Amino acid sequence: MNSLLRGERPEIAGRALSVAPGGEVALDGSRPAAGDGIARELARLVDPSVPADAAERAIAVDQTNTSVIVGERLVVKVVGRWAAADRAAHLLERLAEAGSTDVAGYAGRVDWRHPSFGTSTLAIVTEYLPGAQDGWDWAVDDVVALLAGTGSEPDFPAALGATVARLHDMLGADAVAAPAPAPAERAERARTALDAALEATRRSGGPTAARLANRAEALRRDIRSLGAAAPGLAFDLHGDLHVGQVLRSTGTPPRYTVIDFDGDPQLEAAERGRTDAAARDVAHLLVSLDLVAAVAQKRIGRVEPAAFAWADRARRSLLDAYRATLVRGELFDPALLPGLEGEQLAAELTYADRYLPRWAYAPDAAITHRYPSTDELPEDPWTPPPFEPTST
């Protein structure tokens, strides 16, 4: 059930909601937090069966949104910025209407009609998945167990491929032809991403710079192929798909749930609603399997060729299951994969350079492994950084 707040400063749980000229959403000047009753009241607006004294518990706080578990049953995600959840609300609603079980059950949203900003989604309420972990935990655990000989070949790659195909079949029901300049624009965007990664790694001056520079020619070749592909079909994708966006809950078989439909964080907020080719989601997910192989090597503390051998098999199973499950085969053009994967690996390096330098080792491993080197610059072989138990 959806609900609507009205006015410039509507009251929630005794606090006045407001939006700053820059778009920041606040309650009496601060962010909502578990324990203040805001999330519970928002949950009760969409689901009146939530008890008035339901407990609140924090799950994750990032710079833009606040997610709170209410009554161990619902997750209330309150936007940090005006309109930040409009896309996710719209897509989750469409998936719920289509009967998807690949996303968390959708309870509803609370919209806000503001006299000068218009109407936007303030909060999204979904089913809480108890005990669920994201893939940077469960996928890495599975691969580490495989490498240690204590676990068997993980079957999640095929499960993920089928999951994404079902989501694409639903979201792609209203796909339209991409405009004629789409291939040139894709190639240009990927080229820009690679140039940014080359520049960032050169500037920071570590061993990654030479390994990337020696592979730039191979990456450019893949990126150029984007320009030669057909425009194809475009629709509302997930846009930021990687194993960390897939929660696994316990059970036999385990349930995989795709979260976070906020769109591609590499794009400006205004562009995140952009439609794109199905291959973008598939490429990002395939890249994340290589990143899992890198994280697993960090965890076991050595270069282990069996990790990328697993990634090769995992990529094949994911892709086979995706293609076997996808009913609307016309949505997917595999010719886009090499270029979009190259772009995503470059984007991971740039992201690491800007926000999380200790992450660079993972895309570095994948690039070093996947692309042939010109051996122009002297380079050291990739090795995993020391494992710190608190980070991926």
Task: CB nearer to ligand ADP: give 70 or 190.
Answer: 70
Least CB distance to ligand ADP at residue 104 (A): 4
- What's the token pair of residue 259? 């979260």
HSE, CB side, 13 Å, CA atoms: give it for residue 259.
Answer: 25
SS3 assignment, position 40: helix
Find which of Mg ion, ligand ADP, none residue 134 binds, CB within 5 to 8 Å per kind.
ligand ADP
* Residues 227-256 contacting ligand ADP, CB under 6 A: 247
Q: Which residues pair with 348 in a beta bridge?
A: none
Amino acid letter for position 149: G
User: What residue 143 binds from ligand ADP, Mg ion, none (CB within 5 to 8 A, per partner kind)?
Assistant: none
d(CA 227, CA 182): 8
By CB under 6 A, name the one of 129, 146, 196, 300 that touches ligand ADP.
Answer: 129
Which of 128, 361 has the CB closer to ligand ADP? 128
Edge-to-edge strands, sheet with 246-249: 133-134, 246-249, 255-258
Burial of residue 90, with CB atoms counted within 10 A of its CB: 0-12 exposed, 13-18 middle, 19 or more buried? middle
Asked if 262 is part of the footprint of ligand ADP (rule: CB under 6 A), the reply reads yes
> Of the candidates 82, 112, 128, 308, which one interacts with ligand ADP according to CB under 6 A?
128
Site track 372-391 with Mg ion (rule: CB under 5 A), x = hit:
--------------------
Q: Are 268 and 140 in contact (CB under 8 A)?
A: no
Q: Contact at 8 Å (CB) between 319 and 162?
A: no
Name every residue whose Cβ is closer than 8 Å to that of residue 379 and which is 6 or more positions away in sequence: 207, 210, 211, 214, 373
Look up residue 1 and give its amino acid: M
Q: Two tokens at 280? A: 């973008």
Residue 134 contacts Mg ion per CB under 5 A: no
* Cα gap 169→105, rounded to integer Å: 18
Burial class, 46, CB count within 10 angstroms (exposed 0-12 / middle 13-18 / buried 19+): buried
Please state the closest distance from residue 67 (CB atom) to Mg ion, in A: 9
260 binds Mg ion per the rule CB under 5 A: yes
CA dihedral 27, 29, 35, 38 (to 10 degrees): 0
Using CB under 6 A as the criterion, what x/- string covers residues 59-88 for binding ligand ADP?
Answer: xx-x--x-x-------x-x-----------
**Do the beta carbons of residue 182 and residue 232 sit within 8 Å?**
yes
Characterize the bridge pairing of strands 3-6 and 106-114: parallel
Among residue numbers 2 through 61, which ones bind ligand ADP (CB under 6 A)? 59-60
User: Which lies closer to ligand ADP via its Cβ, residue 129 or residue 196?
Assistant: 129
Among 140, 223, 229, 259, binds ligand ADP (CB under 6 A): 259
Q: Is 276 in the site for Mg ion (CB under 5 A)?
A: no
Q: Which does 59 bind (CB under 5 to 8 A by kind): ligand ADP, Mg ion, none?
A: ligand ADP
Which residue's CB is nearer to ligand ADP, number 236 or number 304?
236
State which residue, 90 or 328, has the beta carbon closest to ligand ADP: 90
> Which CB sits closer to ligand ADP, 68 or 158?
68
Which residue sits closest to Mg ion, CB atoms considered? 260
Residue 266 Cβ, how far from ligand ADP at the closest point, in Å? 14
Least distance to Mg ion, CB of residue 104, Å: 13
Q: Contacting ligand ADP (CB under 6 A), which of 38, 43, 70, 132?
A: 132
Q: 50: Cβ–Cβ under 8 A, 6 or more apart, which residues?
A: 40, 43, 44, 70, 71, 73, 74
Residues numbered 39 to 78 that lie near Mg ion (CB under 5 A) are none
Q: Is 123 in the site for ligand ADP (CB under 6 A)?
A: no
Q: Interface residues with Mg ion (CB under 5 A)? A: 260
Q: Interface residues with ligand ADP (CB under 6 A)? A: 59-60, 62, 65, 67, 75, 77, 104, 126-129, 132, 134, 247, 259-260, 262
